[in-house]
């Protein structure tokens, strides 16, 4: 187990604030049985307000800067290939200490063991920031074709809301239980409606600092349109079944 502490100690000694911001490894009992069941049944689970502002603010500042630098680079070179138009996607280092709270929260390890079994590893940490007026996607499982409808499941995504997710700013949408159905939920819609809203969709609205655990490989889900005036910031940790390839393991300190 490893812990990183950040603190503020005033001279007068009257105020002492210290927070443990990141504790690696497993600590059982953070998810109650009902939450584990709903993750299994619905394919997703929202755990609200796990990180508070003192932890979020420095991560948000780094990500705001990353979004800004990306926009400057796009502006300087408008012809460059972009993964998704109007969306800043970026892979973050697996040993970057600034994002440790999102990689190392013990709830992730507990959820990963529950969904993937005891052998799992962190496969990546990515920013996705739809800009105002952008971000809508069609429903999809991340592994397509080849998504599964039963375990053993291959991955668990832990999407951290660095911005609050509101109905307006492009929250994640999911079709609950769709990881267990061998059919594209959009097939039930009239022709031409595949990219539109789905009657069974849930837009996951959450305060900043919440985490959405979901079976991204197999659950039908997508990004939605950002109608707000600011980029929506989310960091997603990919937790994958099995051991990390040797050259995937983060370098030691």
- Binding range to ligand AKG, per CB under 6 A, among 11-19, 29-37, 185-193, 217-225: 217-225
111 to 150: interface string for ligand AKG, x by CB under 6 A: -----------------x--------x----x--------
Contacts of 218 (CB under 8 A, 6+ apart): 43, 141, 143, 147, 148, 149, 153, 154, 179
If binding is defined by CB under 6 A, does position 179 make contact with ligand AKG?
no
24 to 43: interface string for ligand AKG, x by CB under 6 A: --------------------
Distances (CA, A) of 130 to 3, 121, 218, 232, 236: 32, 27, 22, 6, 14
- Binding range to ligand AKG, per CB under 6 A, among 47-55, 66-74, 221-229, 244-252: 221-229
- Binding range to ligand AKG, per CB under 6 A, among 13-21, 58-66, 71-79, 219-227: 219-227
**Is the CB of residue 178 less than 8 Å from the CB of residue 217?**
no
If binding is defined by CB under 6 A, does position 221 make contact with ligand AKG?
yes
126 vs 223: CA distance, rounded Å: 14
**Is the CB of residue 185 less than 8 Å from the CB of residue 198?**
yes
68 vs 47: CA distance, rounded Å: 29
Nearest distance from C-beta of residue 120 to ligand AKG, angstroms: 20
Neighbours of 231 (CB within 10 A): 28
Using the minimum distance from each CB to ligand AKG, give the nearer residue, 102 or 172.
172
- Binding range to ligand AKG, per CB under 6 A, among 23-31, 37-45, 180-188, 215-223: 215-223
If binding is defined by CB under 6 A, does position 103 make contact with ligand AKG?
no
Dihedral angle of Cα 37, 43, 49, 55, to the nearest 10 degrees:
120
**Is the CB of residue 91 less than 8 Å from the CB of residue 126?**
yes
Which structure tokens are listed for 63?
Answer: 């990500």
Given 46, 59, 111, 172, the residue binding ligand AKG (CB under 6 A): 172
**% helix, strand, coil for the chain, step of 5:** 25, 25, 50
Given 223, 231, 235, 237, the residue binding ligand AKG (CB under 6 A): 223
Give the interface size with ligand AKG as a residue count (CB under 6 A). Answer: 8
Nearest distance from C-beta of residue 224 to ligand AKG, angstroms: 7
Q: Which residues bind ligand AKG (CB under 6 A)?
A: 128, 137, 142, 172, 221-223, 234
């Amino acid at each position: 187990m490893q812990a990183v502490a950040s603190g503020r100690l005033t001279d007068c000694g009257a105020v002492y604030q210290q927070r443990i911001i990141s504790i690696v490894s497993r600590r059982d009992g953070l998810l109650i049985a009902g939450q584990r069941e709903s993750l299994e049944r619905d394919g997703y689970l929202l755990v609200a307000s796990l990180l508070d502002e003192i932890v979020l603010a420095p991560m948000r500042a780094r990500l705001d800067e990353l979004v800004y630098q990306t926009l400057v680079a796009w502006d300087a070179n408008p012809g460059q290939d972009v993964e998704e138009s109007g969306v800043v996607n970026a892979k973050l280092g697996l040993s970057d200490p600034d994002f440790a709270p999102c990689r190392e929260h013990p709830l992730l390890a507990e959820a990963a063991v529950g969904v993937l079994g005891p052998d799992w590893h962190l496969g990546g940490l990515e920013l996705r920031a739809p800009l105002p007026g952008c971000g809508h996607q069609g429903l999809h499982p991340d592994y397509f074709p080849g998504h599964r409808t039963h375990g053993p499941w291959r991955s668990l995504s832990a999407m951290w809301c660095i911005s609050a997710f509101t109905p307006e700013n492009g929250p994640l949408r999911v079709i609950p239980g769709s990881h267990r159905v061998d059919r594209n939920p959009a097939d039930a819609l009239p022709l031409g409606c595949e990219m539109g809203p789905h009657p069974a969709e849930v837009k996951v609205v959450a305060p900043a600092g919440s985490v959405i655990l979901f079976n991204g490989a197999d659950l039908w889900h997508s990004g939605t349109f950002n109608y707000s005036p600011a980029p929506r910031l989310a960091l997603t940790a990919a937790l994958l079944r099995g051991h990390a390839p040797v050259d995937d393991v983060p370098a030691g300190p």
